[in-house]
Structure 1
Amino acid sequence: MATAVTLSNKQKQHLKSLAHSLKPVVLLGANGLTEGVMAEIELALEHHELIKIKVPDEDRELREQVYATIVAHTGGTRVQVVGKILTLYKPSSAGKIQLPRS
């Protein structure tokens, strides 16, 4: 498991502004967080670096557990959660997103 990148507030704001127009690329279905879904999240992170994941579960505590599991498993950084949508960032080897200096 990789460790998450620590972001300054300025960097988080920059990522939030980039994420604003994004649609969720991964939607958790009735089966919840399966290995297939985790693989899909990993692929999306490698390809896009900044993604949104929709967790439609009604139970807030359960959603938080799912977010924590995703972050721990991917080594991504939780940028924000709005409603049921988690915005996740993980720099790829290609380095597509240039973060402002902290």
Structure 2
Amino acid sequence: MLKLTPAERSALRAEAHALSPVVIISEDGLKPSVIKEIDSSLDSHGLIKIRVFGDDRDARVAIYDTICEKLDAAPVQHIGKLLVVYRPKKEAQKSASPTRGKGMREVTIVKPSPSGTKRPSVTKVMVKGNERVTQGGSIKRAKPRQKSSKKSSLGN
């Protein structure tokens, strides 16, 4: 079972506050298919909420401990019928999409020939996160965000 410091646990509790339950466990209890679903949810999200139906508190605590032991996850919080569980995401999934975010990305621009009878010209260009490729194939920077005149006058 993964161990967390009190500061890490507190930060994860704050982050989990806005989450909705991803997995719901019925009164039948923990089945292999439910454990598999929790495992895949932890792989994709890292921090998840689980709702457990049933009125027996001891059974919910046992389910919570079983999930954390079998899936090598850390218990974050247990409030009523909600369980919050954390396990770091796999490194393979983090590096799977290097082109996302605000970094540089490669874009292929295809322009038709001026006469229309020859092959189109294909060029590969590196584009920054704040740039976009227009329909004509030229690169433009994104416009700066407009500021509201009403919001700026309220601050005075």
Interval containing the TM-score (normalised by the shorter chain)? 0.7 to 0.9
Q: Which moved more, 1:7-16 or 1:40-49?
A: 7-16
Q: How many residues align?
A: 93
Q: What percent of counterpart residues are identical? A: 37
Moved over 3 A (4+): none
Q: If the length of structure 2 is used for normalisation, what is the TM-score?
A: 0.56
Do structure 1's residue 45 and structure 2's residue 51 form an aligned pair? Answer: no
- Give the distance between the partners of 1:59 and 1:31, measured in 2 at CA: 12
Three-state SS of the structure 2 residue aligned to 1:25 is: strand
The one-letter code matched in structure 2 to 1:28 is: I
- Give the distance between the partners of 1:68 and 1:8, measured in 2 at CA: 18
- Does the 8 A contact of 2:46 with 2:87 survive in 1? yes
Q: If the length of structure 1 is used for normalisation, what is the TM-score?
A: 0.84
Match of 2:71 in 1: 74
Do structure 1's residue 65 and structure 2's residue 85 form an aligned pair? Answer: no
Higher relative contact order (CA 8 A, sep 6+): 1
Alpha-carbon deviation of 1:76? 0.3
| Match 1:93 to one of 82, 90, 94 | 90
- Give the distance between the partners of 2:15 and 2:27, measured in 1 at CA: 29
Three-state SS of the structure 2 residue aligned to 1:91 is: coil
Which runs of 5 or more structure 1 residues have no equivalent in the other structure? 97-102
Three-state SS of the structure 2 residue aligned to 1:44 is: helix
Which runs of 5 or more structure 2 residues have no equivalent in the other structure? 95-156
The one-letter code matched in structure 2 to 1:77 is: A
Q: Which moved more, 1:22-31 or 1:43-52?
A: 22-31
- Give the distance between the partners of 2:54 and 2:6, measured in 1 at CA: 28
Which has a greater percent of strand? 2
- Does the 8 A contact of 2:27 with 2:52 survive in 1? no
